[in-house]
Amino acid sequence: MFVKDYLADLTESINEYSTSGFIVISEITSDFRSDKIGIVRGKIVFVDESILFFKEYLDLRHKIDKKAYSFHYQDRNSNLIFRYDNALHKPRLAFSEHKHTGDKIIPSSIPDICAVLEEIITDHIKLFLT
């Protein structure tokens, strides 16, 4: 897979949620280091004014390898709802892939951004709309 293909898949998912009315604004930037290595960043604003900020440093030479990532989801008042990342912590965590929820940090697998969008829509936005 090439970074441009990864970006095209992401854009398609965002467009589907935009057409459905869940996403109102999306901004994506990319920095291609090569055809298979790059950085994808973005900001997505949802209908309830919550925001997802994300960054992925991708190495797609052999498989989808996220060298560094952050999916930071917050409410319209900038309060953290959750954040997936693999940033180092002090003191060190027993696991590198993790999710912040409130004041907790729990182990997590490396998320796919489409799964993060689905989590936001299902667990937060649809509840807001009902």
- Are residues 54 and 41 in contact, defined by beta-carbon separation less than 8 angstroms? yes
pLDDT attached to residue 95: 72
Query: What torsion, rounded to 10 degrees, do the Cα atoms 74, 78, 79, 81 define?
Result: 0
Q: Which domain holds residue 31?
A: 3-129
**Which pair of structure tokens corresponds to residue 126?**
């649809």
* Calpha distance 116→108 (Å, rounded): 12
3-class SS of residue 7? helix
* Calpha distance 23→16 (Å, rounded): 9
pLDDT attached to residue 77: 98
**Which pair of structure tokens corresponds to residue 53?**
């900020």
Rounded to a whole number of angstroms, the CA Rg of the chain reads: 15
- Which regions in the chain score pLDDT beneath 70? 90, 94
pLDDT attached to residue 90: 66
pLDDT attached to residue 128: 79
pLDDT attached to residue 117: 97
Number of domains comprising the chain: 1
Rounded to two decimals, the pTM is 0.90
* Calpha distance 81→52 (Å, rounded): 10
